[in-house]
Amino acid sequence: MIRTHRAFVPIFVFAAGLALSALSVDARQAAETPPARGQQQAQPQTPRPARQNPRLEVPMDPDRARQLYVSKDPRDQSLGTNYKADIDARERDAARYPELCKGIIDFTVVKYRSNVGDLEIPAYVFQPLQKRGPKGHAALVWVHGGVHGNWGITMFPFVKEGVARGYVVITPDYRGSTGYGESYHQAIDYGGNEVEDVISAVDFLKTLPHVDPARIGIMGWSHGGYITLLSVFREKHPFAAGAAIVPVTNLVFRLSFKGPGYQWDMSTQKTIQGLPFEKNDLYIQRSPLYHVDKLKVPLLVHVATNDLDVNYVEDQQIVDALRSRKPDLAETRTYVDPPRWGASGGHAFSRRVDPTTLQRVESPDQIDSWNRTWTFFEWVLRPYEDRSKPVVYVDQAPRGARQ
């Protein structure tokens, strides 16, 4: 019985297939045969209208719609900003530098032309009082943070230490920085021409004969770390090393995680005007995470697990990418719940400074992070070397000095 049934089934299917094929041929021939004279040709059926998206029929919650709305009009970039107050605050800080630097640092305010060619970029320059000869000093381009911000005076204790170690330090207030009026503020170009503004600081450093162009590093915190990463993740750049502390790394993820408030700051910029789903390529281009493979120089990255600004779920991505794909160049360290500082929690764990006295408020993690940062740059840039002088080897020393 079973065998007979098994043999019957394919015979039946084969026969049915032949019948269907015959019907298909007859139907095709009928369709191709023109109607006889006097007969009416069948009218084609009117296609049914596309099915309406049922989501469009759901009643809209006006309050939620308002909460989720994100403008992409550049006129909405910085609503309510008090530009005069920003200028006054920056000038108050700048007025403190001459006294702070007196007797220990050569401090100047400079401007240089951005490589983009459209703006003069203001910057502070901090140098040792005693300059070495040609190419005698290493240098650092130090990048401030903030979607809008400027060089904060609370970083002065760390700059002072850098100059004491032999570095020439320049701190550019790239386009979009606060304290320079509305036009400069509204020129913000997050991950775009602001990076060119920062890299252009190297052109100014090269005008200083005592700076060695082969020993220039770049460093920054938060958004400054983001610019640092985008700079050293280029195919070509002038830096010998970089340090990015608690850096922004992935705008595609970040805008989703942070929501409309942060999205607004991005989507209303003149060179962006949209969100990641509208400008896929642009956001990928401006997210350092997707350019890790271009790294060719030593890089240091420190992150904190209790960071409330650049949350660890974002920074963990760059740490994992560097450890897996650039272990020979990248030095990374994750600080587990370091002592907090300010509303951003661990985001400022290594920038704990009293804003009035400008004295460090030390913690073990802050000390450790800075020790590692300075050691990293000394390993690459060697600020203690005066390369304006010839190297004297033992066999070249005077006879009396060989003992």
Q: What is the pLDDT of residues 140-168, one digit of tens each?
A: 999 999 999 999 999 999 999 999 999 99
Burial (0-12, 13-18, 19+ Cβ within 10 Å), 58? exposed
Residue 395 has pLDDT above 80, yes or no: no
The pLDDT of residue 41 is 56
Q: What is the token pair recorded at 203? A: 């052109």
Q: Where are the domains of the chain?
A: 74-381
For 122, the 3-state DSSP assignment is: strand
Strand 105-113 with 120-128, pairing = antiparallel
* 142 neighbors 377 (Cβ within 8 angstroms): no
The pLDDT of residue 40 is 56
Nearest alpha-carbon partner for 124 in 148, 164, 93 = 93
The pLDDT of residue 403 is 54
* 339 Cα distance to chain centroid: 25
Residues written for the chain: 403
* 86 neighbors 178 (Cβ within 8 angstroms): yes
Burial (0-12, 13-18, 19+ Cβ within 10 Å), 206? middle
Helix (H) / strand (E) containing 317: helix 312-325
Burial (0-12, 13-18, 19+ Cβ within 10 Å), 396? exposed
| Percentage with pLDDT > 90 across the chain | 82
Distances (CA, A) of 134 to 126, 139, 153, 380, 387: 18, 13, 30, 19, 8
The pLDDT of residue 5 is 38
DSSP per-residue string spanning 56-114: GGSPP-HHHHHHH-----GGGTTTT--HHHHHHHHHHHHHHHHHHHTTTEEEEEEEEE-
The pLDDT of residue 343 is 93
Q: What is the pLDDT of residues 177-188, one digit of tens each?
A: 999 999 999 999
For residues 11 and 3, what is the distance between their CA atoms, to the nearest angstrom? Answer: 13
For residues 183 and 321, what is the distance between their CA atoms, to the nearest angstrom? Answer: 38
The pLDDT of residue 24 is 45
Quote the pTM value: 0.85
CATH topology for 74-381 is Rossmann fold (3.40.50)
The pLDDT of residue 53 is 85
For residues 282 and 275, what is the distance between their CA atoms, to the nearest angstrom? Answer: 10
* 353 neighbors 154 (Cβ within 8 angstroms): yes
Average pLDDT over residues 114-128: 97
pLDDT, mean over the chain: 89
Backbone angles phi, psi at 225, to 5 degrees: -70, -35
Tell me how far apart the terminal alpha carbons of the chain are, to the nearest angstrom. Answer: 109
Q: What is the pLDDT of residues 352-380, one digit of tens each?
A: 999 999 999 999 999 999 999 999 999 99
The pLDDT of residue 293 is 98
Residue 171 has pLDDT above 50, yes or no: yes
For residues 256 and 276, what is the distance between their CA atoms, to the nearest angstrom? Answer: 9
The pLDDT of residue 399 is 65
| Residue located via tokens 């550019």 | 172
With b for 16 or more beta-carbon neighbours within 10 A and e for fewer, the 69-78 pattern comes to ebebebeebb
pLDDT band at 35 (very low <50, low <70, confident <90, very high): low
| Residue located via tokens 């019948």 | 19
Looking at residue 393, its amino acid is Y
| Residue located via tokens 């162009």 | 213
Distances (CA, A) of 242 to 81, 281, 380: 33, 26, 10
Neighbours of 310 (CB within 10 A): 28
Point out which residues pair with 243 in neighbouring strands.
219, 300
Average pLDDT over residues 78-88: 96
